Chains A and B, each alone.
Chain A
Amino acid sequence: MTTPSESLANLIAPRLVKEKLFLEEDALNYTAKIASGAMKPEDWLLAIEKAMNKDGAK
């Protein structure tokens, strides 16, 4: 059964993509990490910087 954290992470990830804060492929990878509480500051930074770089490159 899906836990509340998993449900919430599944809501958060697409919102991050929509706001161009995460890349779509990273959102898929990081959803489980967000849901399990394993997301570290460096993980957030990496994902955000990748989205920024890709957005900036366009």
Chain B
Amino acid sequence: MSAPSLISVLIENLRGSVRPFKLPFEKGKKLTIIYGENGTGKSTVSDAFDFLGNGNVGSLDRRGLGSTQRFWPSIGKTAGDVKVTLETTAGQCSVKIVKNDVAVTNTPLRPKVAVLRRSEILGLIEAKPADRYAQISRFVDVSEVEASEAAIRKLVLDKTAEYDTATTRVAENRGEIERFWKQAGSPSSNARAWAELEVQKDESHLDARKAAIDRLIAAWDRVVAHPQKVAGLSGQLEAAQAGQHEADKELEAITASVASDYLAVLDLLKAAQTHFLQHPNPIVCPLCESSEKVAGLAEEVERRIQSQGAYNKLEAARHAAATKATAVRSAKQRADDALSNAMADAVALSNYCNGSELPSDLDIPALPVPEDVTQWGEWIIENRPTRANWGIASDACVADKKFISTLRTSIAALKENEGRARELEALLPHIKATAELVARERKKFTDDILSAISLRVGELYEAVHPGEGLNKIVLALDAGKRASLEIATEFGGKKDAPPQAYFSDSHLDTLGLCVFVALAERDAPQDRLLVLDDVLGSVDEPHVERIIGLLYETLQKFRHTIITTHYRPWREKFRWGVLKPDQPCHFVELGAWAFDKGISLSGAIIPEIARLKILLVDPNPDVQAITSKAGVILEALLDFLTLQYGCAVPRRQGNAYVLSDLLGAVNGKLLMALKTEALDSAAGQVVATIQLKPVLDELAEIAQARNVLGAHFNSLAFDLYPPDGIRFAKLVETLSDALVCPDHGRPMKDTGSYWRNGGDTRRLHPLKKPS
């Protein structure tokens, strides 16, 4: 859907608009040229559009004012009074300042606006590369894709590192297996094949061998422990026997030292003593049952037991002898048991050594084990080296298992790392290809855009400076810097020359304008209002018309273009139909600015032919004014024709040709051949063909009417009929209508076959003067 057309813009209290200023736009015309002398308010109009679209008043920037918002209101007004209203075919949109912020009503209708001012024209050319990039970044800034690209580059680095690690580990694993293989005596054809076989072997035989050896060691160790134990227990028995002998001797000695009758009755007396302890007051003798001498009987028994003083010693000796005898029996039992156990273990060892469980390669001790345990010590010493070998053999089993386990781990690690390396080997080319593709596309994308912009800038520049060879403009990102844009050209055969160093100010201005237009063209121009504020400032005369022509051609693609200018020839040439745009154009002129009225329109600039037509429709025509106006228009038309075909005219100082000079110059074959075609621009069809000879011949016949009626006061005029002047003017009108389109002007473009105007609404034949 196309953007709505502009109807008007109303500027209130913004800078020079001390009174509300309304600029109406002509229907159907997307190009508005605002002509005004300096100080008429052109920049205020540009600022109004800047404010409308961008919330800024850019003409005050770079003037050392700091924050410029306080200068936006007109003198005597406040920021709250500033308001710009755009009326379009879809409705109104207003922008104003509310609490230092820009407030927009009807935001969907707020236009996108690009403004280029005279003061900014060199902005992109003279900017630092980084600032230059900032201005162009909206077309080439692919930082988001660059972030994604950084991720794929990181993936490449990570996976490359993983691959390097995997291959390094593969080499390490292979080296390890090689070492194992050499340790094993380099069996089989190669280390890998050997290792593969080794790790598949059954390890249970190692467990069985170790268990058998460990059991042999245990049996041996049990036997080895016996001699010392048996010897110890034998010693204990001997000691017990000696103690018993001593106790027996002590008892015998005590027994021999007391009276024999004492020992005979001692047991009887001890029985009586026990009885009297239970019956302390007997009435008869418990033995003879006599009551005689019963008094004091218990005391008499006690006295007789203690009578010889040996009673306690005898009892102690007897007890010691009994205890020692018990100890001897116990010691003997233990010695017998130990001996028995030793013999049993010796038998067990012999049986185990002679059994089938032991590995055949294992040495066994000299058998049988001596029957006398006291001889075992020597036997043990003799066989101790054999026992030591069993430990080594047992440890070897453990080492063998550990070796296989390590080998298995190495093989597994090798396979895993080989697998990982293979995976990465397959993956890496895809990742690298992806990273390269993204980088290539990104570079191509930005290069293509910059190349297209450069090419377009060159095209535009060549249109203004044809044949100067300065159109090889290059915009290129600096590969060594981020967000840095270089601008270069070819100058005098020198490539990569910075234009700032070699171009004149005027050429730089043109280049700046071309860069701005080339960039603006790329930025959805159909939705954008383009404002060019007095950008022709330093352009020299020969190039101005080309720039104007360039602007006419290139600005049609924008939603609407407003050009302000103080270049007076533009205004005049427009009046005469010389500088007409390819598209219908609205040309307005600003009047002098004053405090009491602010900005004002002095009225539309009316082409001279339009003024003549106005005079002609007057019911009471002013013949003098009509013939005068018609004469000037005819001179302009003949000036155009004679220049276009290089017709011969009398040479005079200042090229001051008169009407008769010009009329006479268009003659001969050219006069015969001259014709124009009027076209319906919409249909592209010729709607009228006009031979110019009849018109010019008739004009030649009555040309004197112009001088007589319209140029001077003279009495001859009294003899002429006013209708001659009217007839002269109507012929001029016919000639003008044939040659000049009100919207697109004169046919001045060389098609190769004929001349045409910008809108191809008028064609002029022939292309060249017939010889």
Chain B positions within 8 Å of A22 at CB level: 434
Q: Which B90-139 residues have C-beta < 8 A from chain A?
A: 138-139
A28 to chain B, nearest CB (A): 16
Residue in contact with A44 in the complex, picked from B139, B146, B152, B441, CB distance below 8 Å = B152
* Chain B, Cβ-Cβ closest to A51: B430
Q: Within the assembled complex, what's the spacing in Å between the Cα atoms of A35 and B438?
A: 12
In the complex, B154 has a CB within 8 A of chain A = yes
A35 lies within 8 A of B431 (CB): no
B437 located at the interface, meaning its Cβ lies under 8 Å from any Cβ of chain A in the complex? yes
Indicate which residue in A8, A16, A19 contacts B145 across the interface (CB closer than 8 Å): A8
B-facing mask of A32-58, CB < 8 A → 1, else 0?
A: 011111111101110011011000000
For chain A, the bracket of interface size reads: 20 to 34
Q: Does the CB pair B155–A44 fall under 8 Å?
A: yes
Q: Which of A12, A33, A45 contacts B437 (CB 8 A)?
A: A12
Q: Is B716 an interface residue, CB under 8 A from the partner?
A: no
Q: Kindly report which residue of chain B lies nearest to residue A11, judged by CB atoms.
A: B441
Question: Which residues of B138-158 are within 8 A (CB) of A?
Answer: 138-148, 151-152, 154-155, 158
CB distance A21 to B144 under 8 Å? no
Query: Are the C-beta atoms of A40 and B151 separated by less than 8 Å?
Result: yes
Task: Digitize B23-35: 1 where CB-to-A-CB distance is under 8 Å, 0 elsewhere.
Answer: 0000000000000
CA distance A12 to B154 in the complex (A): 18
Question: Complex: how many Å from CA A40 to CA B144?
Answer: 12
B449's closest neighbor in chain A, by CB?
Answer: A4
Question: Which residues of B are found within 8 Å of A8, using beta-carbon distances?
Answer: 142, 145, 441-442, 445
Residues in B with CB closer than 8 Å to A51 are 430
**Contact in complex: B145, A48 (CB < 8 Å):** no
Q: Is the CB of A4 within 8 A of B139?
A: yes
The answer, among B145, B151, B437, for a CB contact under 8 Å with A9, is B145
Report A-chain residues with C-beta under 8 Å of the C-beta of B449: 4
Contacting residue for B430 out of A5, A34, A52, CB 8 A:
A52
Q: Are A21 and B434 interface neighbours, CB within 8 A?
A: yes
A48/B146 contact (C-beta < 8 A), A11-B445, A15-B441 known: no
User: A51 CA to B426 CA in the complex, in Å?
Assistant: 12
Instruction: Assess whether B438 is in contact with A45, with CB atoms less than 8 Å apart.
Output: no
Would you call B366 an interface residue if the criterion is a C-beta within 8 Å of the partner chain's C-beta atoms? Answer: no
Given known contacts A1-B524, A8-B442, is B431 in contact with A15 (CB within 8 Å)? Answer: no
Decide: B427 and A37 in contact? CB cutoff 8 A: no
- Complex interface: chain B residues within 8 A of A15 (CB): 437, 441
B433 at interface, CB cutoff 8 A: yes
B445 contact set on A, CB distance < 8 A: 4, 7-8, 11
* Chain A residues positioned under 8 Å from B158 (CB to CB): 41
Given known A-B contacts A4-B140, A51-B430, A21 and B145 have beta carbons under 8 A apart: no
Given the known inter-chain contacts A8-B145, A11-B441, please indicate yes or no for A21 contacting B140, CB distance below 8 A: no
Q: Known interface pairs A4-B139, A8-B145. Does A44 touch B151 (Cβ–Cβ under 8 Å)?
A: yes
Q: B152 to chain A: which residues have CB within 8 Å?
A: 39, 41, 44
Q: Which residues of chain A come closer than 8 Å to B147, judged between CB atoms?
A: 37-39
Q: Are A41 and B155 in contact (CB under 8 A)?
A: yes
Measured CB to CB, the closest approach of chain A to B91, in angstroms, equals: 22
A21 to B: closest C-beta gap in Å: 5
By beta carbon, the residue of chain A nearest B137 is: A4
Roughly how many angstroms separate A11 CA and B524 CA in the complex, as a whole number? 20
Of the candidates A12, A37, A41, the one whose C-beta lies within 8 Å of that of B441 is A12
Contacts of B143 in A (CB 8 A): 5, 37
- Chain B residues, Cβ within 8 Å of A39: 147-148, 151-152
With A37-B147, A41-B155, A43-B151 in contact, is A16–B437 under 8 Å at CB? yes
Are A35 and B144 interface neighbours, CB within 8 A?
Answer: yes
Closest to A35 in B: B144
Q: Is the CB of A45 within 8 A of B155?
A: yes
Question: With the chains together, A27 CA to B143 CA distance in Å?
Answer: 20
Closest-by-CB residue of A relative to B146 is: A37
Least distance between B435 CB and chain A CB atoms (Å): 8
Tally B residues with Cβ within 8 Å of A: 30
Interface string of A12-24 (1 = CB under 8 A from B): 1001100101100
Give the complex CA separation of A16 and B437 in angstroms: 8
User: How long is the Cα–Cα vector from A52 to B423 in the complex, in angstroms?
Assistant: 11
- A44 CB to closest chain B CB (Å) equals 5
A38–B141 Cα distance when bound, in Å, is 16
Give CA–CA (A35, B144) in the complex, Å: 6
Interface contact B431-A48, CB-CB below 8 Å: yes
Q: Kindly provide the distance from the CB of B212 to the nearest chain A CB, expressed in whole angstroms.
A: 54
Indicate if the CB atoms of A19 and B433 lie closer than 8 Å. yes
CB distance from B579 to the nearest CB of A (A): 35
Are B433's CB and A21's CB within 8 A? yes
* Chain B residues within 8 Å of A12, by CB: 145, 437-438, 441-442
Bound complex: CA of A5 vs CA of B145, how far in Å? Answer: 6
Which residues of the partner chain A approach B434 to less than 8 Å between Cβ atoms? 16, 21-22, 44, 48
How many angstroms from the CA of A11 to the CA of B440 in the assembled complex?
11
Residue of B139, B151, B427 touching A49 (CB-CB under 8 A): B427
Chain A residues, CB < 8 A from B524: 1
With A41-B155, A44-B431, A52-B427: A19-B437 Cβ-Cβ less than 8 Å: yes
A45 to B435 Cα, complex, angstroms: 11
**A4, B442: Cα distance in complex, Å:** 10
B544 to chain A, nearest CB (A): 35
Say how far A34's CB is from chain B's closest CB, in angstroms.
5
- Chain B hits for A1, CB < 8 A: 524
Write out the residue numbers on chain B whose beta carbons fall within 8 Å of the beta carbon of A21: 430, 433-434, 437
* Interface of chain B residues 714 through 767 with chain A (CB within 8 A): none
**Complex alpha-carbon distance, A54 and B146, angstroms:** 28
Contact with A along B423-466 (1 / 0, CB 8 A): 00011001101100110011001000100000000000000000
Is the CB–CB distance between B431 and A33 below 8 Å? Answer: no
- A48 and B427: CB pair below 8 A? yes
Q: In the complex, what residue of chain B is closest to A49 when comparing beta carbons? A: B427
Bound-complex Cα distance A45 to B154 (A) = 11
B72 to chain A, nearest CB (A): 29
Instruction: Report the Cα distance A32→B155, complex, angstroms.
Output: 19
Report whether B431 and A45 are in contact in the complex, using a CB–CB cutoff of 8 Å. Answer: yes
Which B residues lie within 8 Å of A45 (CB)? 155, 159, 431
| Set of chain B residues within 8 Å of A35, measured between Cβ atoms | 144-145, 148
CA distance A52 to B158 in the complex (A): 19
| A11 CA to B445 CA, complexed, in Å | 9
Residues of A within 8 A of B431 (CB): 44-45, 48
CA distance A36 to B148 in the complex (A): 8
* Complex Cα gap A13–B159 (Å): 22
Contacts of A19 in B (CB 8 A): 433, 437
Residue of B nearest to A48 (CB): B430
Interface centre among A8, A33, A43, A45, by most chain B C-beta atoms within 10 angstroms, is: A8
A58 to chain B, nearest CB (A): 15
* Contact residue among B141, B151, B426, B430 (Cβ-Cβ distance under 8 Å from A4): B141
Could you say which residues of chain A place their CB within 8 Å of the CB of B139?
A: 4
User: Roughly how many angstroms separate A49 CA and B581 CA in the complex, as a whole number?
Assistant: 60
List, sorted by A's number, 21 A–B pairs whose CB atoms are closer than 8 Å.
A1-B524, A4-B138, A4-B141, A4-B142, A5-B143, A5-B144, A8-B142, A8-B445, A12-B438, A12-B442, A34-B148, A34-B438, A35-B145, A37-B144, A41-B154, A41-B158, A44-B152, A48-B430, A48-B434, A52-B426, A52-B430
Apart from A4-B142, A8-B442, 11 more pairs, CB < 8 Å: A4-B140, A4-B445, A5-B143, A11-B445, A21-B430, A22-B434, A37-B145, A37-B148, A39-B152, A44-B151, A44-B431
Q: Which A-B residue pairs are the 3 nearest by beta carbons?
A: A37-B147, A39-B148, A37-B144
